[in-house]
Amino acid sequence: MKIDQPASLSPRREAHFSCLPSASQQGHRQQRWTLAVGAMLIAAALAGCSKSEAEQKGPPKSEPKVGVVTLQSQSQQLDASLPGRTRAFMTAEVRPQVSGIIQQRLFTEGALVKQGQQLYQIDAASLKAAEASAAAAVAKAEASQRTLAATARRNAELVKIDAISKQAFDESQAAAAQSASDVAVAKANLETARINLKYSRIEAPIGGRIALSAVTPGALVTANQATALTTIVRLDPMYVDFTQSSTDLMQLKRDLDSGRYQKVEGNKIPVRIQLDDGSDYPHQGKLAFAGVIVNDTTGTLTLRAEVPNPDGMLMPGMYVKALLPTALAPDALLVPQQSVTRDLTGRANVMVVKDGDVVEKRDVELDRAVGAFWLLKTGLKAGERVMVDGFQRIKPGDKVQTVEVDLKAKAERKSQRGEPPVQAAADAPAKK
């Protein structure tokens, strides 16, 4: 079988195939491309390393900024905050003074009543009859007195001429004197009857706000019964009874005797009231009474303040706090409460920025809270700087940049914005 040989390529097709790269040429070209990409990756890596090193070297780290206050000695009035309860200035339980049936109730429960205002009316029929009977008894006694007095006068003349015996004269004089006494008794009985008739009108013994009525019309009441018909309380002014620990009182006396504190001047000690919700009562009172006997069970002394209550905001039995000045600290050091922390043992300490702006942890002894501050006993002195913020960024021995903080102005701004006041820092150990 004859196999045909392929025809020779045309010149055009030969030229086309001659333009294609050979296998060796393709290999060289791929190698050059790989080298170029590798060089680019190496250059990028070197650039990244140099940038990272530059960032690490960067500008030097600055000291952290912290807020501080500079302590200054000042004259500070010391107030005692004592728990207490409000009491009515006057309280009157209304009871009947005569027996009878209640005919009318003449007041609105819970309303204000005036002294002398009629509250109830008791059926007065029997009382009027008793008054009339007493009046008749007076008339009878007076008539008898006139007769006996005339007889005594006649007998006085007759005894002079021995017309009657001395005994008859004496008896007539005694009868006349007894008749005068009978008249006096009858008049007293009449006055009693009139008083009882008046008592049928039950009136308010004091002015104030009246409570619920315990009886209704038609009820039988008896004179001076145990159950009150109603109660009236006078609420303006009000009393506030509060207690002070005898231990605190003795400590205050020791501080005054030692000269650490000075006595508050003035005869009338002002008393401010704080309500149970923490708000301040708008009217200031005065100390009216200080007890002289310590309760042997509670170890407390009772005090009483008299407080105006024109708008009726205070009611008997409310829990309040009484704030009254107890002494004057002439050279007081006040430390912001937010500056004070406590370690695990309960010791109070603060962060002090010393000369050179180096932080030092300092133990302090506190006396009492004064608003948003602590009154200091020992541990600091005037002119030292105490940190008030930035505690998380530092530890004792660090160097810091200080920014003076005006806590008073800050508190005023917060108050204007309606924000709560600055609270004391948590009693947690300081960062070491």
User: How far is 303 from 305, CA to CA, in rounded Å?
Assistant: 7
CA atoms within 13 A on the CB side of 94: 31
Report helix, strand or coil for 198.
helix
pLDDT-based confidence at 411, cuts 50/70/90?
A: low
Look over the chain and give the mean of its residue pLDDT values, rounded to a whole number: 81
Angle between helical axes of 166-199 and 125-158 (0-180°, round to 10)? 160
What pLDDT shows up at residue 185? 94
Domains belonging to the chain, first-starting first, are 77-88+236-328 (2.40.30.170), 98-123+200-227 (2.40.50.100), 125-199 (1.10.287.470), 333-417 (2.40.420.20)
pLDDT greater than 50 at residue 432 = no
Give burial (CB, 10 Å; 0-12/13-18/19+) of 24.
Answer: exposed
What pLDDT shows up at residue 14? 46
**pLDDT higher for 413 or 106?**
106
Mean pLDDT, residues 224-247 taken together: 91
Highest mean pLDDT among 68-82, 89-103, 405-419: 89-103
Q: How many CB atoms lie within 10 A of CB 281?
A: 21
Q: Which residues are bridge partners to 280 per DSSP?
A: 274
pTM: 0.61
What pLDDT shows up at residue 76? 82
What pLDDT shows up at residue 200? 94
Q: Residue 307 contacts by C-beta under 8 Å, 6 or more apart in sequence? A: 237, 238, 239, 240, 271, 273, 281, 283, 284, 285, 314
Contact between 190 and 84 (Cβ < 8 Å):
no
Contact between 414 and 421 (Cβ < 8 Å):
yes
